[in-house]
Every structure is written in structure tokens, then in C-alpha cells.
Amino acid sequence: MEKQAVLFHSLEGEKIYFKALRIEDVQEIHHYASDQEVSRFIGWNLMNTLEETRQYIEIMLKRESAGTHLYSSIVEKSTQAIIGTAMIFNFDQGANKAEIGYVLHKHHWGKGYGTEIVALMSDFAFKSLNLHRLHAMVVDANIGSARILEKNRYELEGRLKDHYFIEDKYYDALLFGKITNLET
């Protein structure tokens, strides 16, 4: 998985590129990890302090070292600022599939970055990791994230009723999936 991690950290698109997650980037990561609006629907706990963010980065780095997850910081080319995190996780070697996730600083929502991130991860997962299937779980209220997946030709495969309990309210989970098609 080490070779794949190096490749994942070097993905590049038109407006963004990926780089390895680093403890030294804690301040930039904390900008979005500590934002209530950003963390609300992503499955991370709100990071209230720099120390909490540093500890979570350490957890992510340990997972990547163990080969169970791939993480990259997302860097905006024009500013060289870290604007988010991309991840591939829940690998199932037998079924040749995995889950994707992504988080962006809210100042970068609606600018096409998410669509580009998912396209880069999907292409990498299908061509470099030779996965057969990818999926993503999205809180139904996270309309922007659902649109990103749809733009990348992920299909809505199902709905899990009241799957998430966030801020004393139940939300459905939307399951999106995509099967490899190396001819396209």
C-alpha cells in the first residue's frame, strides 16, 4: 500500500493537487476541521482545538501506515493553500472495492473542486488500485456532496432511513456507487 500512497499523494488536476497529510499542516487543516458547518455532515467530530486536530491527523497517519486508509491534503494551485482532505478507505480486498470521502473548507464549496477531487480519486482507484467498485455515503441533507457524486456518474443505489443522528435530529444516508468501466 506504500507505493499506492505515494501515487495518491501525487494526484493532480486542473485547479488542485494532492499532497501527503502532514502534522506540520495542522493549522491549515484546523481551519476547516474546526468549522461547525463543514464538520456537520462529514463523519468527523468538530475539532475545537489545534491539539484535537493534531491528534486526529496522527490517527489518520497511523491508519495510512497500517494500509487501511489513503489520505491526502487537497491544495489549491492558485494559492498553494490546503483546502481539504481526500480519502479512500474501507478497503475490501476480496470484493475489490472501497469507500471514498472528501471534505472541503466552506470557502471553496460550489467552485468545482469537489467534482475534480472525486474524479481524481475515482480514476486513481480504478486504474492504479484496480478496484472494481467505489461507493460513498452521504447525509441526505448534504445536497452539494450528492451533486458532486452525480456529476462523476455515481449512481444513487439506496437510502438508509434515519442512519445518522446529528444535532438531535435523524437524517437518511444516501448510498452512491460506481462500477469501473476502463473503456471510458
Backbone φ and ψ of 125, nearest 5°: -65, -40
Amino acid, single-letter form, for residue 174: L
Distance of CA 11 to the CA centre of its chain: 14
* Chain segment 24-34, per-residue pLDDT in tens: 999 999 999 99
Domains, the chain, with CATH or none: 2-132 (3.40.630.30)
CA gyration radius for the chain? 16
Which residues of 2-154 form beta strands (DSSP E)? Answer: 16-20, 70-76, 82-92, 97-104, 133-139
The pTM score is 0.93
Kindly report, residue by residue over 11-70, the tens digit of the pLDDT.
Answer: 999 999 999 999 999 999 999 999 988 888 876 778 999 999 999 999 999 999 999 999
